[in-house]
Structure 1
Amino acid sequence: MRDIDLSAAQWRKSSRSGGNGGNCVECCFDFLESDSLIYVRDSKDPNGPALRFTRDEFIAFTEGVKNGEFDL
């Protein structure tokens, strides 16, 4: 996969993320019109790496979270 410059991306954090000590992730949707990927990064390290997911992968992950598939 090619390297993407995410410096101009508009990152979003959940409105529910406040007050938990900064343990948040930020997402960037539709960064490029030709790019149907979702990027996820650690809000405490905005210059660090970002994970890249297809829409289907991201939907499967969020559905798994909602269904408790990753509960410890």
Structure 2
Amino acid sequence: MSGIANGIGAGELVGARWVKAKASDGIGECIMLAKIGESVAMSNSRDPEGPALIFTKGELSAFLDGATKGEFDWMTD
């Protein structure tokens, strides 16, 4: 998609439907995702108008696979 690149303001992604995990604590500590064409945008709920990172489906799939397998658990210790 032209005009959409990493760092674009999340609020500039017109039509984005942001979703977050049901386990989010509701005090602004959530990672939000939105499907943007063939890509996925990721944003931080603490800064809803802040920058969004744009990932391909393959990149997100690899990340989720690693998260499911516990490869990043050490970051929350």
What TM-score does the superposition give when structure 2 sets the normalisation length? Answer: 0.74
| Unaligned 5+ runs, structure 1 | none
Per-residue Cα deviation, 1:20-62 (whole angstroms, up to 9, x for no partner): x432100001x3xxx2100000011011000111001101101
Match of 1:41 in 2: 43
Provide runs of 4+ in structure 1 moved above 4 Å: none
Identity among equivalent pairs (%): 40
Match of 1:69 in 2: 71
Give the number of the structure with larger relative contact order, counting CA–CA contacts within 8 Å between residues 6 or more apart.
2
Give 1:2 shift: 4.1
| Unaligned 5+ runs, structure 2 | 5-11
- Taking the aligned partners of 2:47 and 2:2, their CA distance within structure 1 comes to 22
Give the number of equivalent residue pairs: 67
Give 1:15 shift: 1.1
Say what the alpha-carbon RMSD is for the aligned residues.
1.8
